[in-house]
Structure 1
Amino acid sequence: MTSWRTKVLPPLLAIVFSLLICSIALVISGADPLRAYGTMVGELGKGTTAIDTVNLATVYYLSGLAVAIGFQMNLFNIGVEGQYRFAAIVAAIVGGALHLPPVLHTLVIILVAVFAGALYAALPAVLKVQRGVSEVISTIMLNAIVAGIVAFLINPAQFGVLTGNNLRTQQIDPSGRVPGVPIGGATLFGFAFIALLVGVAYWFMLNRTRFGFELKASGESATAAAAGGVNAKRMTLIAMLLSGGVAGLIAMPELLGRDFSYAITSTQGYGFTGIAVALLGRNHPGGIALGALLWAFLDRSAVSLEQVNVPKEIATIMQGAIVLSVVVAYEVVWRADLAAMQRRVGRALTGRPASVQEGGAV
């Protein structure tokens, strides 16, 4: 059974370790670490930074969930980056072309995004199941291909519209948008609540359904799961499709809540960030949420470091240190927990009556 130490200590140790590394780097460069960190925390209380952080964390959260579904099956779906970009351009084109009543219009766009993301994940899934092709290799190649697909579809000769010096899809009607929540001078993405529901559904699937049990069992031991009647190939296919479907939602908070079209200059890299967030959150929806908030905070507050003559890249160093140390921290804590359990079992066996031990030996 996994103890609270195995769940809580690793991410805490990873964060402390990254702070230590960055503090050493700051001291070497002649900066004051406490002042730098204080500036970053203080930035949350300025302007719209706090809401901007939550909005960005919403995107990171969806990305982390998409990656985590694959991790549950020991699948490294590095193709979340390509899947969400493909889904975003397809959903933006469909959403801009349709003129439907409110709510219905939004639902159609979301469903198209989910389907497109799952469709882009279907190719590596089939290759994995039918030919044993590594999902890492196939999804990396598909990540590269999606750039060409986006460039082709967003061309004015296809579905693109030239706005100034930027190419983008047709703007989505107000009926297809997700209204935000005004807070002070900022607006919280309304899609943040949908992301919360996705997280709840993910938790329910894993902990309250037979499919979730089989998914985790297959990830722990495919051989043991197969002996229990679980079809490993079927689980792999479904897990990849689910991961791609959730990946299709990653761009929706910005598409339906702020931009209302997909541009050639739209932000990239959310899929790769999701890998780090899922690792930090240990594939648990609550942990992923905390990891997403931390990552978004580091991204948004990094610019404030320039006010105290500290390079903003220190936040990137902190993120990299977290990614590297979190894996090591999980292993160290897990081994310590296992050693403690073995000692408890040894003490229990030592304390048993000799007759019982001999009888057991016989």
Structure 2
Amino acid sequence: MSRLKDKFSAQAVLQALAAPALALLTAFVLSSAVIAATGKDPFHAFYVMIDFGSKSDSQVWIINKAIPYYLSAAAVAIGFRMNLFNIGVDGQYRVAAFFAAVVGGALALPGVLQIGVIIVVAMAVGALWAGIAGVLKTTRGVSEVITTIMLNSIAGSLIGYFLSEDKLAVKDGNLFHTPTIPEAARFFLIPTSPDPIYGTVVIAAVIGLAYWFVLGRTRFGFDLRAVGRSESAASASGVSVRRMVVTSMVLSGAVAGLVGMPTLLNKSFSYGTDFPTGVGFTGIAIALLGRNHPIGMALAALLWGFLERTGIQLEFEGYAQEIVGVMQGIIVLCVVIAYEIVRRTVLRRQQSAVGAELSAQGTPGAPAGPDAAEAQDGKSAQSTQSKKAGTTA
């Protein structure tokens, strides 16, 4: 009960809110300065963004855009909690979506069953692709950053090789794409006005809950976080560091395999040359912005979608199209720096409090140092003499 009170004490809440408040305030000031430097009114820009983003069609667009962003951030965050930098989410989700689309277009199973097969294939391919980097790191000591970057390039070349008319794709005008997934095997839509919300938002919610539970409430999650903090300490406690590295990369790749499902199962229903790319790199920024927390990443994904949606309207208002990219970069940098400043400030305060408490414990009562030892010896001698006197009497 005391731990729960400490967790929700006024000081703890203040510390939790200090970093995001500082980051948002700093980002607002810096973004305003950048917009003003271009000769435009920053307050009018923010008004346009809020007004356009509050419309119902924009809200649906933002939610649908946030789904793959959130899944990408969750995949990156699994590696971050293990102190691994999985920069290959972009290649993992693309190759996973491609082969899942090939399988989905070739089968004719009952709808729900075929959807399940598509999702399992996507997760399996993503896990396999990321697992290569984990195995190379544990067996050959190759940095996962290098291998995942190279695997991104290999994934693009592999897809380009198979995405041709004489292999696994069909030609539609000037575009090549995999065979279209049957209508019965497409994911449901949530009816909203004027456009529906992708049903794959349920997949994102399930992944978020699984991420929170597995990493925060299980022995496996504790071992994973322990290895991320200190490999030597985790190894000394009986945790297999090599197994945890491979397992975390496999899990990260499995989640990365789901990133393309909102587009594949709710929008395009095939993988073509126009399939979205770059979502994996956006997930890195969103994971940093959300501090690897499931709720924080969800809010960050929505914020990213909001900036992209409202940035379109800013262009019609005469603002430079690069403004949104600059604002996104400023927000990420401000969040990272603000959290580090607050962390160091809290750490110094805790160290000062512990030092003050320890010094206070040594002052009342007996003197410290050699005098305390002499006083203790005197008390022991008096006690011994009293016992002897009592025995003689």
TM bracket (short chain): over 0.9
**Aligned ranges 1:4-43 → 2 under 5 Å:** 4=13, 7-43=16-52
Alignment match, 2:258: 249
Greater mean alpha carbon deviation, residues 9-18 or residues 288-297: 9-18
1:155 to 142, 154, 164: 164
Cα distance in 2, alignment partners of residues 332 and 6 from structure 1: 11
1:98 Cα deviation from its structure 2 partner: 0.6
1:5 Cα deviation from its structure 2 partner: 5.3
Cα distance in 1, alignment partners of residues 18 and 286 from structure 2: 16
| Equivalent AA in structure 1 for residue 250 of structure 2 | L
* 1:190 lines up with 2:199 in the alignment: yes
**Aligned ranges 1:225-264 → 2 under 5 Å:** 225-264=234-273
| Equivalent AA in structure 2 for residue 60 of structure 1 | Y
Cα distance in 2, alignment partners of residues 246 and 173 from structure 1: 24
State percent identity of aligned pairs: 47
Alignment match, 1:327: 336
Residue deviations 1:280-312 (CA, integer Å, cap 9, x gap) = 111111111111111111111101112322113
| Equivalent AA in structure 2 for residue 210 of structure 1 | R
8 Å CA contact 2:82–2:248 kept in 1: the answer is yes
1:168 Cα deviation from its structure 2 partner: 0.8
Alignment match, 1:358: 368
> CA, structure 1 residues 311+146, in 2 after alignment: closer, same or farther (shift >3 Å)?
same
Cα distance in 2, alignment partners of residues 82 and 150 from structure 1: 10
* 1:136 lines up with 2:145 in the alignment: yes
Alignment match, 1:205: 214
Alignment match, 1:299: 308
Residue deviations 1:43-69 (CA, integer Å, cap 9, x gap) = 123362110100110110000000000
1:125 to 114, 131, 134: 134
Alignment match, 2:390: none
1:214 to 202, 223, 243: 223
| Equivalent AA in structure 2 for residue 33 of structure 1 | P
8 Å CA contact 1:116–1:245 kept in 2: the answer is yes
Higher CA-based Rg: 2
| Equivalent AA in structure 1 for residue 178 of structure 2 | T
Greater mean alpha carbon deviation, residues 124-133 or residues 15-24: 15-24
Cα distance in 2, alignment partners of residues 277 and 45 from structure 1: 22
> CA, structure 1 residues 343+51, in 2 after alignment: closer, same or farther (shift >3 Å)?
same
> CA, structure 1 residues 34+100, in 2 after alignment: closer, same or farther (shift >3 Å)?
same
Unpaired runs of at least 5, structure 1:
none
2:54 to 45, 57, 60: 45
| Equivalent AA in structure 2 for residue 235 of structure 1 | M
1:13 Cα deviation from its structure 2 partner: 2.8
* 1:340 lines up with 2:349 in the alignment: yes
> CA, structure 1 residues 356+97, in 2 after alignment: closer, same or farther (shift >3 Å)?
farther
8 Å CA contact 1:126–1:237 kept in 2: the answer is yes
Residue deviations 1:179-224 (CA, integer Å, cap 9, x gap) = 1112011010000011101110111101221101111111111111
8 Å CA contact 1:96–1:173 kept in 2: the answer is yes
1:328 Cα deviation from its structure 2 partner: 1.7
| Local SS of the residue matching 1:123 | helix
| Equivalent AA in structure 1 for residue 334 of structure 2 | S
Higher relative contact order (CA 8 A, sep 6+): 1
* 1:283 lines up with 2:292 in the alignment: yes
Residue deviations 1:221-260 (CA, integer Å, cap 9, x gap) = 1111111111111000000000000000001011101110
2:188 to 150, 166, 179: 179
| Equivalent AA in structure 2 for residue 141 of structure 1 | M
8 Å CA contact 2:56–2:193 kept in 1: the answer is no
8 Å CA contact 1:304–1:312 kept in 2: the answer is no
8 Å CA contact 1:77–1:136 kept in 2: the answer is yes
8 Å CA contact 1:150–1:264 kept in 2: the answer is no
| Local SS of the residue matching 1:162 | strand
1:353 Cα deviation from its structure 2 partner: 4.2
